[in-house]
A and B are shown apart, each in its own frame.
Chain A
Amino acid sequence: MLTNKIFLKKTKKGGVMKIVREHYLRDDITCGTEICAFCNQKSPCLQENPSSRSGLVTTSHYLLPDTNVVLHQIDVLEDSSIQNVIILQTVLDEVRHRSAPAHRRLKDMISNPDKHFYSFCNEFNKDTYIERLRGEKSNDRNDRAIRQAAKWYADHLKKCDGNLKVVLLTNDADNKSKAKDMGLEAYTIYEYVKSLKDAGLLMDRLSVPDTGLAVEDNRVQFPEHLPLLEIQRGIKSGKYLQGTFQASRENYMEANVSVHNDDRMIFIQGHMNLNRAVQDDVVAIEMLKECDWGCPSSLVMEETEEKPDDADIEGEDLKLKRNKVPKEQRQPSARVVGIIKRNWRQYCGILQQSALKEATRHLFVPAEKRIPKIRIETRQANVLAGQRIVVAIDSWPKNSRYPHGHFVRMLGNVGDRETENEVLLLEHDVPHNNFSDSVLSFLPKMPWIITEEDMKRRRDLRHLYICSVDPPGCTDIDDALHYRELENGNIEVGVHIADVSHFIRPGNALDKEAANRGTTVYLVDMRIDMVPDLLSSNLCSLRSNVERFAFSVLWEMNHDAEIIKTEFTKSIINSKASLTYAEAQMRIDDKGKNDPLTLGLRGLNRLAKILKRKRTENGALTLASPEIRFHIDSETHDPIDVQSKQLLETNSMVEEFMLLANISTAQKIYEEFPNCAVLRRHPSPPPSNFDPLLKAALSKGFSITVSSGKELADSLDKAVLPEDQYFNTMLRIMATRCMMQAVYFCSGTISESEFFHYGLASEIYTHFTSPIRRYSDILVHRLLAVSIGADASYPELLDKYKTQSVCNNLNYRHKMAQYAGRASVNLQTHLFFKKRVIDEEGYVLFVRKNALQILIPRYGLEATLYLNTDRRKQGPTFEFDEEKNVQRCGVVTFHVFDRVIVQLSIDRSNIQHLKLKLELVKPEVPGFSVPKASQRDVNLDEPPTKKVKT
């Protein structure tokens, strides 16, 4: 099998080390074509007779792209019409080193049997391996290797008879001509794609080369990016800093850079200083001189439609410079000098058609406000108008105001529910495809029955009065409770959690899919499950009156809710009732009912109150965030009414026991696995985070102490205005904004002192109680099962690095799921107001330079009331008092927490981008405020959602 030739690969490392590596060349590497009779191969993946759609190469052929084609034109390769492609190992390796996302996508294509992509290991084949010549650059050597492999394929296919050809795709003119000299067929990807029949859409997906659009307006001239080598040197010497670029949502000319290995946020302002960095890029920055430091303008600024293509960005920058910032407000500022790593992804958005009818260049407006507009080239602007499309960025030359990109695919009409949901999911990187067959194959076979074997391993708790309490309409019930008094006078409380880890075995496709999804995502009108429906709403769901597997935590408590004994066991339960919060509350309140279930609920409720009191005394925070529920029409799926979610005693009852179960579990698994327990921590926020809260509270005469969680909780409790009920809630909402994100982590990776959960004031915490919708809980279940001897461990579970990388993914998914949920609420709000104009009571949450941030408690939404805008030329002007943080206009002054009446409607001036519009009703400001909705003649015509195609 081995040709037993040893080749030496020499690489210089640090200039002195000579590395000698063996390189075995083989004669058993197959060509992967169906037609070949020489290579002894199983299931070749290149088809025997691929049909040719190209005008250039009319016979059947295989494509062989070089590295740059794969790197830059991966969107084209992904198109379903591109099939039968040979990916060389040389190409695969180079792609791997140069772009991780491209490599991942390439791998996906190779593993997709419908694409007929074959990866040929040319470096290990004795006939296609070439040695680097003296003085040859490694890129040239690789190009030569690619040509060599193409040549081999050409000869090999000739030998196999048939008219099959191999076509080398390369955009490098030199490479192409050399290939032609060797008698190979070689084209650029542009030539090839152009020659395809019905190439229209595919043409748009071609990425534009840097040089293609050089005819830019030379007014725009960004500073050159520094080469990587210089950046590295600068970072080492401390001249530059490395950080992640975070564009501002509110102002496209501002951004922050979070410096790596440091908690600092560095402020960046102005086009020249931003220097073509895009959200999430890793950049190198250089600090500005202190006299040039700026501060966030507290100006809410959006790129408006009217702006010409290449507006004078230097002019905009100059405008900034003119108003020098007073010393005390200056923030450490910097400018971007170079890009270390681009983190571009694909962006959803809409096309902003060029004013010229025949133009092929158009601007694309991303849905995410932090992403700049992207210039794309398309010949079908008419088709794309009014559609949600996906676009990828290719480059951002220094003489272009906007980055260049290309069209990737079309999602559907703007405003359609499915399209908008799809956009939402894509923008938040939520995996939402249907579960694949390989995933589904690991589901238990139906009908599912409990076997003797199962009975033996589990404790039988079917006789207990267990019930579940959940929100209405919940089908994935993952927790249930019971309460019973023991003979020794103590109380037994049990929390029973769906035993998902029984069904999802480590390492199989189902497990991997769940680990990747990380969490179930709840949108207002749909749910994207983490595990297939059969598990989430049937076998794992602890529904009433069916036997289900559970993982139970049983406590023995005394009547003061002190834990005497904790026990964990796998069990079989039979829930006696699935209640909603309201139903449970009714049972507790109904004095006439005295069945065991109700008595149990009352007992639980009593204990929960004690637990909650203890927790609060410990310094746990009670925070608020406005939560709402939509009532959705069952026919049209349009929201009919909005309600803020009601909190009942039973909500907090369930919550208390879940917290207790989580804490008990955390202690147990940490004790058992000090190095690889999956825990959750909530870091205490840096004091500076609280500044807006302190400022706001002070304006009403309250001082909030933030030195510890306990003090914060106490001072929040004291800050109550008798005449304004909502004041305290607003403070709590503001406090929530000051908090850090809670994160999952693996216990071996950080020191024990950092395990603290700030919000809950608990030394240690984890998630155990919702394994149906969170993957972290599945991991915790597995750890717990191992520690009580109910299950066997497996390698990945005990590997702290792997666990940490899973945790990182979970944190990311979790955050994205939260954002997606919020975005979905926003979307529904828009739909809701599409047909309505409503006056509503609101409160000023923040005062900005040109706007007020208004919170509307009834709908739990926060919106911006613009005061001075460029568009509104007449009317009174508002004056912003930065010292006192107020806006004045004549006799009317707006403070934080002021109560206002605003009119809510949808701004339809831009059909593609519906916006919620606020207008002031009360207090009245002549020339600015609007009359009440009932007094206005409101046009409630259905807005044209579908644009007529012209």
Chain B
Amino acid sequence: MFSCYIVTFCSPRIRKTSSMAGMELLSDQGFRIDGRKPKELRRIQCRLGVFNQADGSAYIEQGNTKVLAAVYGPHETAGGRGKALHDRVLVNCQYSMATFSTGERKRRPRGDRKSKEMTMHLQQTFNAAIMTSLYPRSQIDIYVEVLQSDGGNYCASVNAATLALIDAGIPMKDYVCACSASFVKDCPMVDINFLEESSGGPELIVATLPKSSQIVFLEMNSRLHEDNLSKVLDVAVKGTKDVYQVLDNAVRDHISEVSAFHKLDQS
């Protein structure tokens, strides 16, 4: 049932765990550090069409993670015909993080190893979701900029890019929604923030096509016993469906707003 199942197992990143030792990620009363329950998402706010220059654009806030996405295309492949693909569109992504997006100022907004990896992941994700065969020999550019980072950067980037692609009117198989999950005290936790991410526990990131429940991207950090994998995956997938609801509402609101503006009939 999975159309595209990419599994990347990364070695656990070196993280600042020592100072977090005193944190209780999940209290006995069942609350997380920020007051959420294990299965609650952070607040999502989003807007479509934030730039006029781009063909499509969107802005999303998932808690304190704030991401801007802009889409150009489809257009002629930049840099000559050499790069063009004869049977499908070339999806070109660029992920970057603003220097002011993290607690400590970042030196390089893009081009470092982590950003390159993220760029690649985004490319893989959207290659699986865009109807690429409709635009052979052309190119679509997706620019993603993280303005503020508080965990779940990939997820917010995917969700923002989805909205921007919709805003640009590029045909896709479905929305692509992404969500992360972790596993603490035998309990799966959805949509983890930076604090929970950096505690050293497992982190599962999944991007799905929510209507068909197809997984287009899956990544996992740190160690998680296989018995627990399905539990964590289930809540993450459930999370992507919840995200879908929010995005879909936003799109519908946006469309009705725009169409009212253009005095178009809504039938």
Closest to A13 in B: B19
Structural contact, A89 and B34, CB atoms closer than 8 A: no
A303 within 8 A of B: no
| Beta-carbon nearest neighbor of A96 in chain B | B24
Cβ of B80 under 8 Å from chain A: no
Indicate if A795 sits at the interface (CB-CB under 8 A): yes
Question: Taking the complex as formed, is B109 at the interface, i.e. its CB lies under 8 A from any CB of chain A?
Answer: no
Do residues B227 and A123 form an inter-chain contact, with CB atoms below 8 A?
no
What's the minimum C-beta distance from A268 to chain B, rounded to whole angstroms? 30
CB distance from A500 to the nearest CB of B (A): 22
For window 1-60 of A, CB contacts with B under 8 Å fall at 1-2, 4, 6, 13, 17-26
Quick one: CB contact mask for B29-43 with A, threshold 8 Å, 1 for yes?
Answer: 101011110001011
Asked if A798 is an interface residue, CB under 8 A from chain B, the answer is: yes
A795 and B28 contact, Cβ closer than 8 Å, known pairs A22-B42, A22-B63, A123-B35? no
CA separation between A612 and B220, bound complex, in Å?
Answer: 51
A312 at the interface (CB under 8 A from B): no
Secondary structure of the B contact surface, majority rule: loop
> Is B34 within 8 A of A793, CB to CB?
no
Report B-chain residues with C-beta under 8 Å of the C-beta of A793: 225
> Whose C-beta in chain B lies nearest to the C-beta of A120?
B29
A795 to B150: give the CA distance in the assembly, Å.
28
Q: By the criterion CB–CB under 8 Å, are B43 and A1 in contact?
A: no
A22 touches B193 (CB 8 A): yes
Are B150 and A22 within 8 A (Cβ)? yes
Say if the beta carbon of A110 comes within 8 Å of chain B.
Answer: yes
Measured CB to CB, the nearest residue on chain B to A111 is: B28
Assuming A17-B103, A17-B104, is B227 touching A22 (CB within 8 A)?
A: no
Closest A residue, CB atoms, query B34: A22
Q: Could you give, for residues 17-30 of chain B, a 1 whenever the CB lies within 8 Å of some chain A CB and a 0 otherwise?
A: 00100101001110
**Cβ-based interface call for B64 (8 A):** yes
> Which A748-806 residues have C-beta < 8 A from chain B?
792-795, 798-799
A24 to chain B, nearest CB (A): 4
Cβ of A124 < 8 Å from any Cβ of B?
Answer: yes
Q: Does B223 contact A (CB under 8 A)?
A: yes
CB pair A22 B64 closer than 8 Å: yes
Encoded as 1 (CB less than 8 Å from any A CB) or 0, chain B from 171 to 197 comes to 000000000000000000000010100
Instruction: Tell me whether A107 and B28 are in contact in the complex, defined as CB-CB below 8 angstroms, given that A794-B225, A795-B227 are known contacts.
Output: yes
CA–CA, A127 to B209, complex, Å? 40
Which residue on B lies nearest to A800, using beta carbons? B223
The answer to whether A121 and B29 touch across the interface, beta carbons within 8 angstroms, is: yes
Instruction: Fill in one digit per residue for A74-108: 1 if any B CB lies within 8 Å of its CB, else 0.
Output: 00000000000000010000001100000000010
Contact pattern, A 105-120, Cβ under 8 Å of B = 1, otherwise 0: 0010011000000010
A19, A22, A119, A799: the one contacting B223 at CB < 8 Å is A799
A24 B223 Cβ-Cβ under 8 A: no
- B residues 186-223 in Cβ contact with A at 8 Å: 193, 195, 223
Contact pick for B225, options A6, A20, A795, CB 8 Å:
A795
- Residues of chain A lying within 8 A (CB to CB) of residue B228: 795
Give the residue name and chain of the B residue nearest to A121 (CB).
B29
B227 proximity list for chain A (CB < 8 A): 792, 794-795
B30 nearest in chain A by CB position: A121
Q: Are B24 and A26 in contact, CB atoms less than 8 angstroms apart?
A: no
B43 and A798 contact, CB distance less than 8 A:
no
Complex contacts, B224 vs chain A, CB 8 Å: 795
Q: A19-B103, A119-B29, A799-B223 are in contact. Are A24 and B34 (CB under 8 A)?
A: yes
Complex A-B: 16 CB contacts under 8 Å: A1-B40, A2-B40, A13-B19, A22-B34, A23-B35, A24-B36, A24-B43, A89-B27, A89-B29, A121-B27, A121-B29, A121-B35, A124-B31, A794-B225, A794-B227, A795-B228
Question: Which residues of B does A touch, CB under 8 Å?
Answer: 19, 22, 24, 27-29, 31, 33-36, 40, 42-43, 63-64, 103-104, 150, 193, 195, 223-225, 227-228
Ordered nearest first, which 7 A-B pairs have the shortest CB separation? A795-B225, A24-B35, A124-B35, A22-B34, A17-B103, A22-B63, A4-B43
Task: Name 8 extra pairs, CB < 8 A, besides A4-B43, A89-B27, A119-B29.
Answer: A1-B40, A21-B195, A22-B64, A97-B22, A123-B35, A124-B31, A798-B223, A798-B225
